[in-house]
Amino acid sequence: MSEFLSRTSVAPRLRACVALVGASLIFVSAAQAHGSHSHGHGAVRLMMEGAILSATFDVPLESFLGYDYPPQGAAQEEVWRAFTRRLQNPSSWLQPTAEASCQAVRHEVHPDPATLDAKADIPNIVYRAEFRCDRPEALNAVSFTAFFDHPGLKQLRVQLVSPKGRKTVTVRPRFPALTF
């Protein structure tokens, strides 16, 4: 059999195929070491339970900053400072319709930007915000305000769970609102 393989064009093709599979495995390993994400894309889980609207964003930091490594230089330091200030205001991420009279009551971010190792790559940011709505029955849409300050953010895949049911949609900067 080996004589047949060496006399035909199958052996070079087989070697090329094995090399391609090996290179693919190296690429996948490198991608997994960097984290499972696509720059510019993020995911949001949006839940309405009673009077509480909660949103959990899972987005690569590069989508917000334009880089996903520790800040280098004055310009990147300023981008980082502006981003950390926006983390303190849930309305910088999500804005419920005014008619529902929703107020931010809690927010958190993981990992905490203040505790990140300055020499390590920065992973995805998971940001969670909760709003208490005085008129939850009037909540019929939310606007993803995160697009306004982050041009690197191209789309969010949103999974909505509400008393009206479930739906999954993709929102983009051009149409940043989701209607229930």
SS3 166: strand
Across-strand partners of 161? 47, 166
pLDDT at 99 over 80: yes
Region of 165 please: left (phi>0), alpha (psi -120 to 50) or beta: left
Handedness of CA 156, 162, 164, 165 (dihedral sign): positive
Which H or E run contains 149?
helix 146-149
DSSP, residue by residue, 92-136: GT-EE-GGG-EEEEEEEEES-GGGS-TTS----EEEEEEEEES-G
Which H or E run contains 72?
none
pLDDT digits (tens, 9 = 90+) for 143-164: 999 999 998 999 999 999 998 8
User: Which residues, 6+ apart, have CB-to-CB distance to 1 below 8 Å?
Assistant: none
Look at residue 118 in the predicted model and tell me its pLDDT. Answer: 61
pTM score of the predicted model = 0.75
Look at residue 28 in the predicted model and tell me its pLDDT. Answer: 36
